[in-house]
Structure 1
Amino acid sequence: MTSAHGGNDPLPPQVVEALRCSMCGNPIGLAERTLRCENGHSFDLARQGYVNLLHARIPAGTADTAPMVAARADFLASGAYLALADELARVCAEADGLVIDAGAGTGYYSAHVLSSAPSATGLALDVSAVALRRAARAHPRLGAAVWNLWEPWPVGDEVASVLLNVFAPRNGPEFHRVLRPGGLLAVASPAPDHLRELGDLVLTVDDRKEERLDATLGEYFARTGRTAVRSTVELTPDRIRQAVEMGPAGHHLDRDGRRERLEALSETQKVTVSFSVSTYRRL
């Protein structure tokens, strides 16, 4: 994996070319550290290198918070989910243009994919500006933009060769629109036995999740493969806390005594990490 860069460089040209003004939908250009369209709408790059294209509030509890992002960064750096990152890099190795990571978080998986695809450039989309501060520095060929994935994306039609979606919202119509014909969609989701040893400290995974995934995407994509990524890892109490705090349960730490039980952990535990990686081709 490529080491992080400084995060103060302008967005990669391929990313700027793919982006659209979120106010009027026109193409935008980058002058110094400002994105601007022909109608005069402008968006300044943050000091960390990402750009915020949102112009509306998002519902509370939607974006990852600073503590959740910090927990995720530390946990992923431990290598506990490296097997998943490697599998995503393998299935996306053909990427030769723009890779869009929808729900990129800190850019951990995007960076692995780009490191295995030297001719590709990445665009990280996420609703959490806190997460994208890290994503913008995760890889020198990765640009980052804050956006709500449930809204029409500020991205041109058929601009991406690969679309990556890891534990994130799945907007089938937008996936289809931004992928070029025959483009690859790679979706990673937790399996029903993921983190099962942690019980109700984490949110349960629906046994029919894969079935629902195929139904959601079936109108726009044909599934081409599905791989299980499963292993057992030893997690220290701190790593267990991070695993809980970085996921959906991180929004609900004060329910059902979850926070108190996490703080009481004192022993290393063997835990199942289990994922499903599904690949699809754009119809």
Structure 2
Amino acid sequence: MKVFESIIETQNYIKSHSVGFVPTMGALHEGHISLISRAVKENELSVASIFVNPTQFNNPDDLAKYPRTLETDLDRLEKAGCDVVFVPSVREMYPGPAVLKIDFGRLEQILEGAFRPGHFNGVGLVVSKLFHIVRPHRAYFGQKDIQQCAIINRLVNDLSFGIELVFCETVREPDGLAMSSRNVRLSPEKRQAAPFIYQSLLQGKELLLNGVSPAETERQVAAAYNGHPDFTLEYYEVVAFENLERIQHYDPSVKTAVVTAAHLDGVRLIDNIIF
């Protein structure tokens, strides 16, 4: 496995007809490894990046607390069969202040965008840069970040990147908690409470399938969150999968998602289910 810190070295090495790319911010877990494994299987050359991107953090404390485990990450990538890892510094990625703004319209104003202003501009900027550097044929992302997937899909289509996007199902712990780099920040006691997030999504799905309206479903589950001593709810919404807009009536023939974000033990966690 080759590890490069510079853009030029990375580009000089990556000269394959089939490149599968997995961009990450490190602190890798089995969800990331599942993406790498698929990239290894489906491409001649597999490439991962590890870069904690400062432009997508609207909270400086969140950026400072983001786990950084480079040695462990590299070991896991090598064992997964990854061919190339790009590990740039902030100066390498941003030689000067980032001033370009990418407007994703309504898509960046709802859900995550409403609580993390500027986040998706940062995501769009760094993903664009990484795509130009790596020049992959396929790029792999997890559906736990459903809105990020939608943002990147818009980016690729509107800017004609010519990259095949592969969105993969969320990988979960045995108790249902979606795997996340942030989970390691939970205390053992609060980690025991964390599966409530996934349970709340399943509850919402069951209510909808039993004829309860989206608005009443949201109300009932929000009440359950508000009654739980460990959680502070940011949002819980029933949305159309196609555009992530809130729906008024559930139609089982139309792809739907239930999405949520909540704080637990000072850690902000997101999750969703699609059906």
TM-score (norm 2): 0.36
Higher strand fraction: Structure 1 or Structure 2? 1
Higher helix fraction: Structure 1 or Structure 2? 2
Q: Could you say which structure has the greater relative contact order, defined with CA pairs below 8 angstroms and 6 or more residues apart?
A: 1
